[in-house]
Structure 1
Amino acid sequence: MADTTADVLFDRLIDWGVDTIFGLPGDGINGFMEALRTRREKIRFIQVRHEEGAAFAACGYAKFTGRLGVCIATSGPGAIHLLNGLYDAKMDGAPVLAITGQTYHDLMGMHYQQEVNLLGLFTDVAVFNEQINGPRHARSLADVACRTALARRGVAHLNCPNDWQERTEVDASAMNVKGHTSAAWRPPIVIPQEESLRSAAAILNAGTRTVLLVGQGALGAGDEVEKIADLLGAPVVKALLGKAVIPDDSPFCTGGLGLLGTLPSEKAMEECDSLLMVGTSFPYMAYLPDPGQAKAVQVDCDGTRLGLRYPIDVGLVGDAKATLQALIPLLQKRADRSFLEKAQVRVKDWWELMKTREDRTEVPLKPQVIAGHVNELLADNAIITTDSGTITTWAARHLKIRRGMKFSCSGNLATMAVGLPYANGAQVAFPDRQVVAFVGDGGFSMLMPEFITAVKHQLPIKVIIIKNNTLGQIKWEQMVFLGNPEYGVELQPIDFVRFAEACGGVGFHCEKPEEVRPALEMAFKSNKPAVVEAVVDPFEPPMPAQASPKQAVNFAKSLAKGEPNRVRIATTIFRDKVTEFFQ
């Protein structure tokens, strides 16, 4: 029998090294599903419970492997469900291929059931976005789609009418030469011109108080980052997606930056006279040096991002690792280590403060206590995912990255619900590594059926749910940023232990400090997907490293306006910050 369009497509994806596809069947992709069935020994189909989970899992797979993540969904609503996960991939630069179905080719434009203009819908999210028109077209489009997603670190979208998926005729246009495309592609290694490197080195050598800010583009270049930090006596500040660039116990690391960052990192930015940004477009400009305060050099593989957040003096377009390797011989060893040493003293004090918060024994249980115990149970090569919300603060500040670990979350989109499907994608890619999702109850409950995906496919992920029965980040933003009482943020409690058990996994509960370690140890020892439900204080604030007077005033306003929990909230550690400004 002649190959169908679907046969040709998936054979070509196999040529590209694709061995995993996340998705959910539907009548708009029945032809694709049959081709996957007959290739199940070569491509593993991971059935999810919601297409959004498929896109998130593909994004997580791509982030943690550097390979192409692939997801598939039916026409209409199935394809629409992919979009949030695909925007996450787009905004964090993860290469993902989305395959979708469409209504019958000769009923398009006829208001048929589930017909949606998917090419129009995907126009903004995708760097490549085309409809497959038969077998000969499928092969060449697959080549271009995969190459574009990888080369441009974005989303490629292939759509195909359901009846064309089983089309077998081989006639092609006169201009379509068979085999005119290939599956060959390797990532380029780009190094800036020597003159630009020397200009950058001159700026950095002239400084006396240099800071490095590194993001996800510097992943894999940690050795070079530490070498430069040592040469220049420079603290290294990590954007959240760059948390795994260097370990948190590195003598140069000051931690994160921003609302969920550290005081040593903020102080380093406030006092620096030179700045080297590597692989980051950190969005919160208020936390960067004042314009004109510091001479700045930026390294990025995407030239359009140079100077996006700070008025740089030299922009270096290139691969982070190769560019830093070329820059290192041009840098002079800085004799004065006082700037770094001051940062190191602050880091020591900061970790001592974090440890006091992790060792608190009062009830209700504090989320920092959970993170402290999780740290001690993480394997040296653990893969950690987290979600968006107050959970991001606890993960950013209290989960300590060791050399060899991987970490990610939804960085630029900052969408909720990614932690669980990211973990599924990571465990599929790395079946022998420990994968831990550190999530909040709000984010987990959005896509909690994806825990069933882990059970179905025997993915022994560990899901630590910080349960406070509230949308905590929104609660504190309403009060501290706007000066309003909290509203609309309370969540109906869910018994996550019983849910995990009903799905076929295991669940453990803790709500007192002495219950935390036994619950975590049992979960981590299990060979099944496991949930730990940790009931914590809903009034524990995600403290900024240093609160501003405006935040303190807004906090006081929210209490005065009738904050329903003002008695409890007024006794939190945020009270101390308010007191500082009103004394």
Structure 2
Amino acid sequence: MATTAAEVLIDTISDWGVDTIFGLPGDGINGIMEALRLRQDKIRFIQVRHEEAAAFMACAYAKYTGKLGVCLATSGPGGLHLLNGLYDAKLDGQPVLAITGHHYHDLINTHSQQDVDLDKVFMDVTVYNARVMGPTHVESLADLACRAALSYRGVAHINFPIDFQSQNAQKKGSMRNVPHHTSHVFARGARLPVEDDLQRAAEILNAGKKVAILAGRGALKATDELEQLAEKLGAPIVKALLGKTSVPDDSHYTTGTIGLIGTKPSQDVIENCDTLLMVGTSFPYMEYLPKPGQARGVQIDIDPFRIGLRYPVEVGLVGDSRRTLQELLPLLKPNADRSFLEQAQSSTKQWWQLMEQRGTRNNQPMKPQVVAWELGKRLSDTAILSVDSGTVTGWWAQQIPAKRGQMHSVSGTLASMACALPYAIAAQIAYPDRQCVAFVGDGGFSMLMAEFVTCVKYRLPIKIVIIKNGTLGQIKWEQMVFLGNPEYGCELESINFAAFAQACGGVGMTIEDPAECGEILDRALATPGPVIVEAIVDPLEPPLPPKITLEQATKFAESLAKGEPNREKIALTILSDQVRQLI
């Protein structure tokens, strides 16, 4: 039986199914750490090297398992470090509980050491946010925090003063506080839309001649239903980044991802459709959606707030994507005209031929697409691939096909660098028998690279593939193509990541020759324990959008004219890559 307030906290969240906490000890959470020490058989504590990584891990744990992700940090700077990973969870709609310490309750707001009101700091990032006011307050707060995070698919926060953590939890509470008046039962919200809305949605979809389906993270468990829908309506499936595994890329119905790092067939589908069905997505880049008035719209989302957020849809179906599609499918009529789908299929076949061409070049310096292409061929059917933000995101989106049974994820709406390694750690802890790979850039990896020691400490067989181009590539190309300015401030001092891996107790490998890329990746994936593979690639290889606009070409030309330091080499690279349309 729990005797301290901290023990009540740990027992309560355990009742909610929490089995793992990611965090870093500190004197502001000593009571909680003791409770975790006494309950090691119930909850694993995973020690990290930086609290930001703990929050990323909690977000990824929620993404990959569907469970509540939990992170723990001490008072002041420890709690502040969590914020980036917590915003990742907020913006990607993941249930996460953040627990932070505070110093002695009777010294709060007296300018004491680490006197940061984290409950105030966390107001914007949370769906539930509370400070413990005494030992008998803990149980109800913990229940409400877990319930809120799961119900609203967001971040909950408990701020726990250090002196309360070790106080007796058995003493009587206030006269109106009845012990155990809360529970770990919660309502899961509306799962199915009303019948009238289903009928109206069916009428719109049945009337469409060129129907496009846009699938996002909310459709990840609706693969079969999406393909049945596509077959019935003759509708191509376009995917948002977080929906990349909603249908596998070898499906006859998908054109791949959409957006700046999407595919040309996907953009063609969106530009030419007369009806758009959005399933489990509120895709943030409105410029890649149909122009208002071009297409009639229907949207399925479990969150009513997101209906009509990006596109003026006529019908919103509030409910779980899979179950809603199961109710909608019998109401739909087969579309005999397959021309829209067939054109998309033909274009997609040509697109993958182009991706293979780019991914099998033998140029030196090695092209980053080669690494992505060779890695994609070698990922197991149940692999979990965690991807960082930057140009590496584009190489993943365009060059690495998602297979049925795999899980892929990235920091979606926040698009934060440094997420991939913590994501992969959380995935490997959740699924110890599955292949877990982080696909990262050298800029993003170096931000939280100390977490490689976490892989070594816990003997996690994670494989980390680093695209090493010596620059903040995405930022460099954005400076040139979006603003028309020469690159500035983006070059990175080189780090020998293979030697770093060895120094940490892992294995390090280096790829420079594209002819050796596949063989070295084979060796890395077969090596027991954590491995870093640094792939040294051409820093001047541009991440090309599926369609290059006149404005992008003009800005690019302006950046060269203004004195881009690598203008001659970049121009030669572009010409040799047969992308003269950029000029």
Counterpart of 1:250 in structure 2 is: 251
Counterpart of 2:260 in structure 1 is: 259
Counterpart of 1:350 in structure 2 is: 351
Q: Indicate whether 1:173 and 2:183 are aligned.
A: no
Q: Give the 3-state SS of the residue equivalent to 2:408 in structure 1.
A: strand
Counterpart of 1:14 in structure 2 is: 14
Distance 1:575 1:501 in 2: 37
1:358-369 map, 5 Å: 358-369=359-370
Counterpart of 1:419 in structure 2 is: 420
Rate the CA distance shift 1:574–1:141 in 2: closer, same or farther, 3 A. farther
Kindly indicate whether the alpha-carbon contact (under 8 Å) linking 2:485 and 2:564 is maintained by their aligned counterparts in 1: yes
Distance 2:388 2:363 in 1: 26
Q: Give the 3-state SS of the residue equivalent to 1:458 in structure 2.
A: coil
Distance 2:216 2:520 in 1: 34
Amino acid in the other structure paired with 2:81: H
Counterpart of 2:69 in structure 1 is: 69
Distance 2:443 2:286 in 1: 28
Counterpart of 2:220 in structure 1 is: 219
What per-residue deviation string (whole Å, max 9, x for no partner) do you get for residues 382-405 of structure 1? 001101100000011111111110
Distance 2:392 2:100 in 1: 33
Report which stretch shifted further, 86-95 or 519-528: 519-528
1:184 deviates by 1.8
Q: Give the 3-state SS of the residue equivalent to 1:360 in structure 2.
A: coil
Kindly indicate whether the alpha-carbon contact (under 8 Å) linking 2:205 and 2:275 is maintained by their aligned counterparts in 1: yes
Q: Give the 3-state SS of the residue equivalent to 2:563 in structure 1.
A: coil
Amino acid in the other structure paired with 2:155: V
Kindly indicate whether the alpha-carbon contact (under 8 Å) linking 2:190 and 2:318 is maintained by their aligned counterparts in 1: no
Percent identity among equivalent residues?
61
Amino acid in the other structure paired with 1:431: P
Kindly indicate whether the alpha-carbon contact (under 8 Å) linking 1:134 and 1:168 is maintained by their aligned counterparts in 2: no
What per-residue deviation string (whole Å, max 9, x for no partner) do you get for residues 533-577 of structure 1? 000000000001110001101111101100000011111237888
Q: Give the 3-state SS of the residue equivalent to 1:198 in structure 2.
A: helix
Kindly indicate whether the alpha-carbon contact (under 8 Å) linking 2:190 and 2:302 is maintained by their aligned counterparts in 1: no
Rate the CA distance shift 1:577–1:548 in 2: closer, same or farther, 3 A. farther
Rate the CA distance shift 1:163–1:333 in 2: closer, same or farther, 3 A. same
Amino acid in the other structure paired with 1:67: K
Counterpart of 2:542 in structure 1 is: 541
Counterpart of 2:104 in structure 1 is: 104
Kindly indicate whether the alpha-carbon contact (under 8 Å) linking 2:2 and 2:8 is maintained by their aligned counterparts in 1: no
Distance 1:189 1:460 in 2: 40
Counterpart of 1:94 in structure 2 is: 94
Q: Give the 3-state SS of the residue equivalent to 2:299 in structure 1.
A: strand
Kindly indicate whether the alpha-carbon contact (under 8 Å) linking 2:421 and 2:438 is maintained by their aligned counterparts in 1: yes
Distance 2:333 2:575 in 1: 44
Q: Give the 3-state SS of the residue equivalent to 1:100 in structure 2.
A: strand
Q: Indicate whether 1:41 and 2:41 are aligned.
A: yes
1:458 deviates by 1.1
Counterpart of 1:462 in structure 2 is: 463
Kindly indicate whether the alpha-carbon contact (under 8 Å) linking 2:392 and 2:440 is maintained by their aligned counterparts in 1: yes
Counterpart of 2:433 in structure 1 is: 432
Distance 1:391 1:376 in 2: 17
Aligned residues: 582
Counterpart of 2:130 in structure 1 is: 130
Q: Indicate whether 1:393 and 2:394 are aligned.
A: yes
Distance 2:573 2:421 in 1: 30
Kindly indicate whether the alpha-carbon contact (under 8 Å) linking 1:556 and 1:578 is maintained by their aligned counterparts in 2: no
Amino acid in the other structure paired with 1:570: A
Kindly indicate whether the alpha-carbon contact (under 8 Å) linking 1:552 and 1:578 is maintained by their aligned counterparts in 2: no
Amino acid in the other structure paired with 2:501: A
Counterpart of 2:191 in structure 1 is: 190
Q: Give the 3-state SS of the residue equivalent to 1:298 in structure 2.
A: strand
Distance 1:382 1:187 in 2: 29
1:527 deviates by 1.5
Counterpart of 1:340 in structure 2 is: 341
Q: Indicate whether 1:331 and 2:332 are aligned.
A: yes
Q: Give the 3-state SS of the residue equivalent to 1:449 in structure 2.
A: helix
Counterpart of 1:563 in structure 2 is: 564
Kindly indicate whether the alpha-carbon contact (under 8 Å) linking 2:485 and 2:558 is maintained by their aligned counterparts in 1: yes
Amino acid in the other structure paired with 1:158: I
Distance 2:393 2:246 in 1: 18
TM-score, scaled to structure 2: 0.98
TM-score, scaled to structure 1: 0.98
| Uncovered stretches (5+) of structure 1, i.e. residues with no partner | none
1:515 deviates by 2.1
Q: Give the 3-state SS of the residue equivalent to 2:510 in structure 1.
A: strand
Kindly indicate whether the alpha-carbon contact (under 8 Å) linking 2:2 and 2:11 is maintained by their aligned counterparts in 1: no
Kindly indicate whether the alpha-carbon contact (under 8 Å) linking 2:359 and 2:373 is maintained by their aligned counterparts in 1: yes
Q: Give the 3-state SS of the residue equivalent to 1:255 in structure 2.
A: strand
Q: Indicate whether 1:79 and 2:91 are aligned.
A: no
Kindly indicate whether the alpha-carbon contact (under 8 Å) linking 1:189 and 1:322 is maintained by their aligned counterparts in 2: no
- RMSD over equivalenced CA pairs, Å: 1.3
1:579 deviates by 4.5
Distance 2:372 2:30 in 1: 44
Distance 2:112 2:201 in 1: 59
Distance 2:347 2:41 in 1: 54
What per-residue deviation string (whole Å, max 9, x for no partner) do you get for residues 313-369 of structure 1? 111111111111000000001111000000000000000000000010010000110
Distance 1:574 1:450 in 2: 40
Kindly indicate whether the alpha-carbon contact (under 8 Å) linking 2:438 and 2:464 is maintained by their aligned counterparts in 1: yes
Amino acid in the other structure paired with 1:107: L
Distance 1:516 1:580 in 2: 30
Kindly indicate whether the alpha-carbon contact (under 8 Å) linking 2:88 and 2:414 is maintained by their aligned counterparts in 1: yes
Kindly indicate whether the alpha-carbon contact (under 8 Å) linking 2:548 and 2:581 is maintained by their aligned counterparts in 1: no
Counterpart of 1:296 in structure 2 is: 297
Amino acid in the other structure paired with 1:43: I
Counterpart of 1:441 in structure 2 is: 442
Report which stretch shifted further, 83-92 or 515-524: 515-524
Distance 2:387 2:47 in 1: 22
Kindly indicate whether the alpha-carbon contact (under 8 Å) linking 2:91 and 2:413 is maintained by their aligned counterparts in 1: yes
Distance 1:581 1:114 in 2: 53
Q: Give the 3-state SS of the residue equivalent to 2:449 in structure 1.
A: coil
| Uncovered stretches (5+) of structure 2, i.e. residues with no partner | none
Q: Give the 3-state SS of the residue equivalent to 1:144 in structure 2.
A: helix
Q: Give the 3-state SS of the residue equivalent to 1:211 in structure 2.
A: strand
Q: Give the 3-state SS of the residue equivalent to 1:570 in structure 2.
A: helix
Kindly indicate whether the alpha-carbon contact (under 8 Å) linking 1:3 and 1:135 is maintained by their aligned counterparts in 2: no
Q: Give the 3-state SS of the residue equivalent to 1:571 in structure 2.
A: helix
Amino acid in the other structure paired with 2:130: E
1:578 deviates by 7.7
Distance 1:76 1:275 in 2: 47
Counterpart of 1:499 in structure 2 is: 500
Amino acid in the other structure paired with 1:37: R
Report which stretch shifted further, 273-282 or 129-138: 129-138
1:185 deviates by 3.1
Report which stretch shifted further, 189-198 or 277-286: 189-198
Rate the CA distance shift 1:97–1:185 in 2: closer, same or farther, 3 A. same
Distance 2:365 2:440 in 1: 18
Kindly indicate whether the alpha-carbon contact (under 8 Å) linking 2:462 and 2:530 is maintained by their aligned counterparts in 1: yes
Distance 1:580 1:527 in 2: 46
What per-residue deviation string (whole Å, max 9, x for no partner) do you get for residues 148-176 of structure 1? 00000000000111111001051201100
Q: Give the 3-state SS of the residue equivalent to 2:245 in structure 1.
A: coil
What per-residue deviation string (whole Å, max 9, x for no partner) do you get for residues 268-322 of structure 1? 0111000100010111111111110101100011111111111111111111111
Distance 2:582 2:53 in 1: 45
Kindly indicate whether the alpha-carbon contact (under 8 Å) linking 2:103 and 2:115 is maintained by their aligned counterparts in 1: yes
Amino acid in the other structure paired with 1:394: W
Distance 1:579 1:539 in 2: 15
Rate the CA distance shift 1:189–1:525 in 2: closer, same or farther, 3 A. farther
Rate the CA distance shift 1:321–1:135 in 2: closer, same or farther, 3 A. same
1:376 deviates by 1.7
Q: Give the 3-state SS of the residue equivalent to 2:480 in structure 1.
A: helix
Q: Indicate whether 1:52 and 2:70 are aligned.
A: no
Counterpart of 2:315 in structure 1 is: 314
Distance 1:373 1:579 in 2: 26
What per-residue deviation string (whole Å, max 9, x for no partner) do you get for residues 238-267 of structure 1? 000000100001000000011000000000
